[in-house]
């Protein structure tokens, strides 16, 4: 069951610009996570935000969480060509036993 839906599906920006991607989900969660996937590779965990947190920062990443709207956003500031990848949100549902539900992903292209 796909819970997270991401928007946009694809995003193309110039190096140095900010990239924002959004994630919506359906049920109550323990936390929400963002992962990155380079083409043809596995996923790498980027950042986790708990359900009682509203904003979190890690380097050039900023994540927000609005549990009333069941939505999250990931902002990558001052993007670089190396940020080109697919980004997935994953929710840790309250009613599920250690399973993550992944969204469909946003494909980000950062043009040099």
> Stretches 11-19, 55-63, 69-77, 91-99: which one binds other proteins (CB under 8 A)?
91-99
| Contact call for residues 93 and 29 (beta carbons, < 8 A) | yes
Q: Which of 50, 57, 80, 111 binds other proteins (CB under 8 A)?
A: 50
DSSP 68-94: TTTEEEEEE-S--GGG-EEEEEEEEET
Task: Please name every residue paired with 106 in a beta bridge, in sequence order, or none if there are none.
Answer: 87
Decide whether 41 or 54 has the Cβ nearer to other proteins.
41
Instruction: Tell me the C-alpha distance between 102 and 6, whole Å.
Output: 10
- Please report whether residue 94 would count as binding other proteins according to CB under 8 A: no
Q: Which of 22, 24, 31, 73 binds other proteins (CB under 8 A)?
A: 31
Closest approach of other proteins to the CB of residue 57, in Å: 18
Instruction: Tell me the C-alpha distance between 67 and 69, whole Å.
Output: 5
Q: Which residues contact 42 (CB under 8 A, 6 or more apart)?
A: none
Closest approach of other proteins to the CB of residue 78, in Å: 26
Q: Given the rule CB under 8 A, which residues bind other proteins?
A: 1-2, 4, 30-31, 33, 40-45, 48, 50, 88, 90, 92, 97-100, 102-105, 107
């Amino acid at each position: 069951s796909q819970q997270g839906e991401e928007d946009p599906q694809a995003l193309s920006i110039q190096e140095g610009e900010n990239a924002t991607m959004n994630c919506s989900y359906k049920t109550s969660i323990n936390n929400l996570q963002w992962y990155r996937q380079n083409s043809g590779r596995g996923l790498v965990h980027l950042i986790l935000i708990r359900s009682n947190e509203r904003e979190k920062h890690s380097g050039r990443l900023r994540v927000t969480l609005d549990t009333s709207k069941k939505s999250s956003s990931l902002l990558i500031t001052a993007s670089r060509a190396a940020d080109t990848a697919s980004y997935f949100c994953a929710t840790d549902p309250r009613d599920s036993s250690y399973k993550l539900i992944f969204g469909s992903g946003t494909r980000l292209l950062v043009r040099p």
